[in-house]
Structures are given as C-alpha cells and as structure tokens.
Homo-oligomer: A and B are copies of this chain.
Amino acid sequence: MGSHSPLFYDSPLAVQSAAGVWLTSMDGVTYLDGYNNVPHVGHCHPYVVEAVHEQARQLNIHTRYLNDRVLDYAEQLLTTVDQPLARLALTNSGSEANELALRIARQHTGHTGVLVTDFSYHGNTTSLAELTTGLPVREPLGAHVRALTIPDMDHESEGEEAVLARSLALVDTAIASLQQAGHGVSALLFYPLFSTEGLPRLPKGYVTMVVDRVRSAGGLVIADEVQAGFGRVGTSMWGHQLFDMVPDFVTLGRPMGNGHPLGGVITTTNLLDEFGSNNLYFNTFAGNPVSAAAGLAVLKVMNAEQLLDNADTTGGLLRGKLTELAGRYDFISAAKGQGLFTGLEFVDPTTGAPAPAIAKQVVEGMLARKVLISRIGRNDNMLKIRPPIPFNRQHVEILTDRLADCLTHL
C-alpha cells in the first residue's frame, strides 16, 4: 500500500476489534474512541451488522432493476430535510457525492466558479483536489476557485457587526473576482460546522448572509454534511439546519452507513430532473439494497436509541467539562464546537500564538491513557473530539478525567 499511506500517531495503532465506543488493539488493550465518526451509531452495532447481513444473503444488485429497499431508504431519509429538498441520488462516498453536486451545479448555472473556505477538504478526485485548501495536494488551487476566510469571534477583538461586515466584504470580493474572470459562481461548498477550519464561533447571521450573496450571483449552495450530519450537532439532524437557510444540495458520506461505503446527494426535484434529462448518470454500486439496508439501519438505531438527543446532552456535558479545564490552564484558549463535535484550542500563553506542539503532545498523551482523539484547525492546535454518537455521560467522565491527568503531566 506504499510508504506514504497516512497513519495516526508516532507509533501507529494496530486494531483487532471494536464495539460501541471501544476499540481493542492487537495486543489486547482497550481504548475509548473519542475520535471516529464513521462508526456513527457505534462500532459494529449489532442491529446494523445483522440488517446488512440479512440483505446481503438475499439480494445485492444495481438500480437498473427495481428494488424496494432503496426506495424505502430514500423515502425515510428525505423526511429529515426541508422543502424544496426532495430527491436522493446515492453514491459510494462523500467524494462521489460532492463530484455529483458540483456537476449538477455547473450544468444548471452555466458557471464554473466555486467558493470554498480557506482550510477545507471535500474529497480526493481531480476536481475536488483543485478546490482543496486544507491538506497537501500537488494540484494548484483552480483558477475558478476562491477561498473564503471564516470569521471566528473567539479570535476577534472587534464586535460582531464589524466582523460580519468585514467577512461579508471578503465574500463580495471573491464573487466579483470570479465574475470578472468570466467563471461566474456555480456553487458555494462548505461544511456547516466549519470543522476543518477549527469550529469557529460565527458572527450571528453570517452563513445566511453568505448564502444570499451566492444566490444573488446566480450560484447554488452545497452543504457538505459528511462531518456535521446525521444528528452529530445534537439540536438538529443536519448541520445546515443550525442556520436560517435551506441549501440546494446536501452531500452525504462518512456516518451514513456506519462504515459501509455509502454517500449521496439530496437535492431538489428540478435540479435532479434537469441533470437526468441531459446526462446518463449511473453509479454501479450505489443504491444497491445492501448499502440501503445499512443506511436504513443507521436511521432506525438513531431513532430507537434517541441518539440525536444524546448528542445534544452528552455534547453539552462534554463541552462544559472542557470549558472548566480551559479555565484552569493559560495555554487553553477556548472549548469549541457543537453537539458531539468538540475542540479544545491551545495557544502560547505569552504570545497567544497557536500551539500545535501542545495539541500533538496531548493527542499522544491521550493515546498513552487509552483514549483516541486527534487534531484539527488551520494551525493544527485544536483537539478534535468527535466520538461515535452513543458516547454517554460515563464516557465523558473517563475522557475528561484522563485529559485532566494528561494536561497536568505536560
């Protein structure tokens, strides 16, 4: 698989099994999972595993024949979004989902320009590499791409109104620049939690006002929910529902099938019909009944175990404890996030500069204490705490106790 296959930790962890929020390493040690969002309703959730198995024994076929399972899934999933979102196209990954949304947006608008944020990643294909700003790729940023800086009130000395005005002026400049260069605006593509960017605390109204500007320029809006979606934010099923807006596309991936390769695009009837009438879009694996069974089982478990409420309650509890810790150490500047996606930001206490070395030390220190977390943010100075969503009060205690111990011993 090659010497550059990316791995976590100074000494990578070899895993043999997992269940719920726990992983067991090859040497038999058990770790609390405070990091993984793909096993969304818990590692190897028995209900999901058995639903997939039952369907795999019966039928696994593409969508050029009819099968009920995929229609059941589409119907159930579409009840969670707001009008006019009403259609689902399935894919095998978030990369394929963003590719499809961008193809539809470009064709519909007749424009090629794309607005992204200045520290983001939306997939691993050529055209997604051309709009990647948050990790190393050899492809230069596309001439048709402009990257927005997202304001974070935790890093501002000015008030909300001034920050908002300045941030929206950046959007206007980016749009004008795309228009002057002849690209126009086809789409804004963003993570509703701005998680790779560092979970910023946004000035009130920011997202809605950006969306209005994009639409005034003739562009469409893509909410990439591979990080924030499926109830992680706690107060709603989708991250974009935190804001007063409905996107034209919701793109789906990671948590969707609890580890089964499954992604998709939710969009409007008009947009999908228009695309379908001009293109034969077929995705061999996507929409097979086994993938649909995985997706259905995730929705069922979320409902049966009230995991959306749990993400809200447990996330609040976790952030409360992290805020307490933040108050104790001058090198912690803020506890950030929403629901069960939480960050803890480290700075140099003297200069206030980002302190990625501390974050790295804590991630490794937590591994030594048998808790898995990681880092995010443009300066890599923020803990990334994003566990499977059945994470509960007891798991919060374990994580924060060990984190307190780790911070004491830095």
User: Which residue from B1, B5, B283 sits with its C-beta under 8 Å from A93?
Assistant: B283
Chain B residues with CB under 8 Å of A103's CB are 125-126, 129, 139
A376 to chain B, nearest CB (A): 14
A33-48 interface code vs B (CB 8 A; 1 in, 0 out): 0001011000110100
* A14 on the B face (CB < 8 A): yes
Q: In the complex, what distance in Å separates the CA atom of A269 from the CA atom of B2?
A: 7
A243-271 interface code vs B (CB 8 A; 1 in, 0 out): 00000000001100011111000000100
* A285 on the B face (CB < 8 A): yes
Does the CB pair A96–B124 fall under 8 Å? yes
Does the CB pair A261–B285 fall under 8 Å? yes
* A394 on the B face (CB < 8 A): no
Does the CB pair A137–B74 fall under 8 Å? no
Does the CB pair B4–A272 fall under 8 Å? yes
User: Which residue from B43, B87, B277 sits with its C-beta under 8 Å from A60?
Assistant: B43
Chain B residues with CB under 8 Å of A93's CB are 92-93, 96, 283-285
- Which among A62-70, A207-215, A309-317, A398-406 touches the partner chain? A62-70
Chain B residues with CB under 8 Å of A96's CB are 92-93, 95-96, 124-125
Does the CB pair B99–A66 fall under 8 Å? no
A1-23 interface code vs B (CB 8 A; 1 in, 0 out): 11111111000111111100001
* A138 on the B face (CB < 8 A): yes
Does the CB pair B43–A138 fall under 8 Å? no
- Which among A173-181, A286-294, A322-330 touches the partner chain? A286-294
User: Which residue from B14, B17, B46, B280 sits with its C-beta under 8 Å from A66?
Assistant: B14
- Which among A49-57, A193-201, A217-225, A350-358 touches the partner chain? A49-57
Q: In the complex, what distance in Å separates the CA atom of A13 from the CA atom of B59?
A: 14
Does the CB pair A1–B99 fall under 8 Å? no
CB<8 Å pairs between A and B, sample of 9:
A4-B277, A6-B63, A14-B66, A52-B53, A53-B53, A125-B126, A126-B126, A261-B261, A261-B288
A266 to chain B, nearest CB (A): 11
Q: In the complex, what distance in Å separates the CA atom of A15 from the CA atom of B7?
A: 42
A134 to chain B, nearest CB (A): 10
Asked whether A58 and B17 contact (CB < 8 A) given A103-B129, A279-B136, the answer is yes
Asked whether A60 and B259 contact (CB < 8 A) given A67-B15, A99-B124, the answer is yes
Q: In the complex, what distance in Å separates the CA atom of A74 from the CA atom of B5?
A: 13
User: Which residue from B17, B135, B254 sits with its C-beta under 8 Å from A59?
Assistant: B17
Chain B residues with CB under 8 Å of A273's CB are 2-4
Q: In the complex, what distance in Å separates the CA atom of A287 from the CA atom of B38?
A: 13
Chain B residues with CB under 8 Å of A68's CB are 14, 26
Chain B residues with CB under 8 Å of A124's CB are 96, 99-100, 281-283
Q: In the complex, what distance in Å separates the CA atom of A13 from the CA atom of B64?
A: 8
* A88 on the B face (CB < 8 A): yes
Chain B residues with CB under 8 Å of A61's CB are 15, 18, 23, 36, 38-39, 43, 259
